[in-house]
Chain A
Amino acid sequence: MFCPQCGASNADNAAVCVQCGRNLQAVIPVPPIQTPGVVLPPGASMQNYLVFAILATVFCCPATGIPAIIYAAQANGKLQAGDLAGAKAASDNAKLWCWISFGVGIVGTVLYILLIMLGLLSGLHSS
């Protein structure tokens, strides 16, 4: 490894730098830079819920699906910038909006079924 202070080459397990004496054990690792199109190694992957956001937009409710897609974009952007905490927050928001869309879809379906049943009942009543 190289000393982050003076750049001197050191053994990987060195405790202090041979040249400037800086403590090498306390060095904070630099977050890996994510570049577009890069395949993430397993374990480093993060769900951005893009697929579910798209499904929510197409099948449930575009009004709540679009925010989910925007948050999915934000999650990817922050991950690419190395901001893992920000990416996680955006990913959680994307997930939330996906669930909201799903809820709207379910409520709509249930309301539809209720309306049909009401229609059937009133039809029976009037006949």
Chain B
Amino acid sequence: MRIRVQLRKRRVLAAMLLLGTAPIILLRVFDPATSGIFPPCPIRYLTGLYCPGCGSLRAMHALLHGELARAWAMNPLMIVMLPFVTYGLVSAALLELRGNGLPEIMLPAKWIRAFCVVVVLYAVARNLPLYPFDLLAPGAMLHL
């Protein structure tokens, strides 16, 4: 039993290392804007609209090359969320591996619902051809 648990843990750890490092290596090496190994967003492809996640991969690529301004211009919301998401992912990984995660902060339901509204408004604003909202479109802030 114990050996089986150990084996499962080792598999989980291997899967986590792969899932954690593969995107970082791929995004460091390949530029999503030019390389074509990353599939284009179907929403952008079919509708021509920017969704809330548009520019995330380009932002990660820029971040992995130390270009903070470029990363911010590609998707400011993602850069703001990144520390929280990283904390949550590390916590979830620890929870799986050793049974308890990092201290869990209970966000009030209202805050999470407010975040939903922000995401939707952000999606609308990025697509408005109107200053200053159009600055939120991926890469727009690079041409100020």
Question: Are A and B associated in one complex?
Answer: yes
Question: Which residue among A40, A58, A79 has the maximum number of chain B CB atoms within 10 Å of its CB?
Answer: A58
Contacts of B106 in A (CB 8 A): 34, 36-40, 76, 79-80
The verdict on B30 contacting chain A, using a C-beta distance below 8 Å, is no
> Given A42-B100, A51-B89 in contact, is the A73-B105 Cβ separation under 8 Å?
no
Interface positions of B from 103 to 144, Cβ below 8 Å from A = 103-110, 112-113, 115-116, 119-120, 123
Number of interface residues of B (CB under 8 A): 34
> Given A51-B85, A73-B113, A113-B39 in contact, is the A62-B107 Cβ separation under 8 Å?
no
Contacts of A62 in B (CB 8 A): 43, 51-53, 119, 123
Smallest distance from the beta carbon of A102 to chain B beta carbons, Å?
12
**Would A50 and B105 count as touching, CB distance under 8 A?**
no
B56 nearest CB neighbor, chain A only: A58
The verdict on B92 contacting chain A, using a C-beta distance below 8 Å, is yes
Cβ-defined partner of B88 (8 Å) among A40, A51, A58: A51
Contacts of B92 in A (CB 8 A): 47, 51-52
CA distance A51 to B92 in the complex (A): 9
CA distance A112 to B42 in the complex (A): 9
CB 8 Å contact bits of A29-56 with B (1 = contact, 0 = none) = 0000010111110100101001110110
Smallest distance from the beta carbon of A94 to chain B beta carbons, Å?
10
Of the A-B pairs whose beta carbons lie under 8 Å apart in the complex, a sample of 13, sorted by A's number, is A34-B106, A36-B108, A39-B105, A39-B106, A45-B95, A45-B100, A45-B104, A52-B92, A57-B52, A57-B53, A58-B56, A58-B81, A76-B108
Q: Which residues of B contact A (CB under 8 A)?
A: 39-40, 42-43, 51-53, 56, 78, 81, 84-85, 88-89, 91-92, 95, 100-101, 103-110, 112-113, 115-116, 119-120, 123
The 10 residue pairs across chains A and B that have the minimum distance between CB atoms = A51-B88, A77-B109, A73-B112, A112-B39, A58-B53, A36-B108, A73-B109, A42-B100, A76-B109, A39-B103
